[in-house]
Amino acid sequence: MRYRVTALSPLLVGDGRRLSPIDYMVWKDQVSVLDQRRIFRLLAKGPRLEGYLLQLKRADKLDFASWGGFAQNYADRRLPFESPAYSAVWNRASGDSLQIPTFAAGVAGPYLPGAALKGALRTAWLYGSLKPEILEQLARGIRNERVLRNPGEALEERLLGDPGQDRMRWLAAGDSVPQQYANFKVYLLRTASLQTRGGALSLGWKQSPRGTADGRRPEEGTPAFAEMASSGTAFEGAWSEREFFAQPEVRRALGWPQGSARARLFEAANEYAAALLALHRTYAETARLDEVGRAVGNLEERLAAARAAGACLVCLGWGGGLLSKCSWLDTSAPAYRETLRALALYQAALLAGLPFPKTRRVVFLNNQPSTLAGWALLEIMA
């Protein structure tokens, strides 16, 4: 069998690598990724290598007037901006916003790692298994004992089994077939944030290193650029369901429920997607992000169609935010907040009294806040 993952919004599943602004140049509304090894070999034949290395060491960006020819002749690949307006945004930007995270890629091109897909499904399955009383037990344990460094690990093992009885062992998902770079673009994203003004919640746009711009002026928010697969891009790879774990006696010995594991998994994924989209819809209404709200509504329609067809929706990769990695989505639950307060990373955010999390990373289309990253449709083909 094979799976097909179709991007429903711009999608980035990376491998941790980023393009620094000295690894590429912006030319004619596109990002030209430089083949640095080829450039070094060329410059080593003459006197310009020292000057080039000096600029790489000192500059925030390569000087196009001096080295722009490399963008035309020595580019490893060229990725267009989603909108021509982003060249001007990029020219005004500085710092970390010029670091472009890239899609996972090998020699043959970018691909979707099977581990990322399986991880998204695992989060959804854990969501379907986690009950309020279990979360309360975790909070009570933290209240009475020393704070654990990774409190979720024991919980995950309890619900999905230890490595020998892991309920995901029946499934294997391979890396997808490599894609063409023609399906990829560099997208602009900004981080929306809720803030209190006049006793009511209003939209703001996060600025770096600190501060929040008015929601009516998104151009003042700090931009981020990312190499992402465009909506409609389809990734296909091997999908294997191990028949050994489908035998009733094996499932009884392992303590697994009887019935179709895939049907149970996909239903959990769709339940998780429905809950996550409901939270995003509420956020879009509160922040008055109308286009984002319409995009969420379209995803909910795709979810209903996926359920009817035996498929599921998943949110994976970069840009999905904290909620896409959480197996508990009711962030207002007292037990959940008590658990997070024990972790220094979230204490300040919870003390603010705002909805948690108060931010969403928003993808801009045609230079307007439009959708959320990372949503895709998963289908299984014979």
Q: Which of 19, 2, 167, 26 is nearest to 84 (CA)?
A: 26
> How many degrees, rounded to 5, is the angle at CA 231 between CA 286 and CA 329?
40
Percent of the chain with pLDDT over 90: 54
* Residue 310 vs residues 96, 235, 313, 380: alpha-carbon distances, Å: 42, 18, 11, 9
Whether the CB-CB separation of 167 and 256 falls below 8 Å is answered with yes
160-169 burial code (b ≥16 CB/10 A, e <16): bbeeeeebbb
Structure tokens belonging to residue 377: 């449709």
pLDDT in the model for residue 122? 92
**Contacts (Cβ under 8 Å, ≥6 apart) of 53:** none
Q: Is pLDDT at 198 greater than 80 in this prediction?
A: no
Taking the C-alpha atoms of 12, 13, 16 and 19 in order, what is their torsion angle to the nearest 10 degrees? -30
Q: What is the pLDDT of residue 9?
A: 97
pLDDT at 150 over 80: no
Mean pLDDT, range 249-271, rounded to an integer: 83
Among 356, 382, 339, 324, which residue's Cα sits nearest to residue 121? 324
Instruction: Supply the pLDDT for residue 104.
Output: 96
pLDDT at 364: 97
Identify the top-confidence range among 116-125, 139-148, 163-172, 333-342. 116-125
User: DSSP class of residue 352?
Assistant: T
Domain boundaries along the sequence of the chain: 2-13+111-192+220-381, 21-85
pLDDT tens-digit readout, 1-23: 999 999 999 999 998 999 998 88
CA distance 269 to 40: 48
pLDDT band of residue 372 (cuts 50, 70, 90) is: very high
C-alpha distance from residue 18 to each of 24, 78, 226 (Å): 11, 15, 9
| Model confidence at 139: pLDDT above 90 | no
- Averaged pLDDT of the chain: 89
Q: How far apart are CA 105 and CA 102, in angstroms?
A: 8
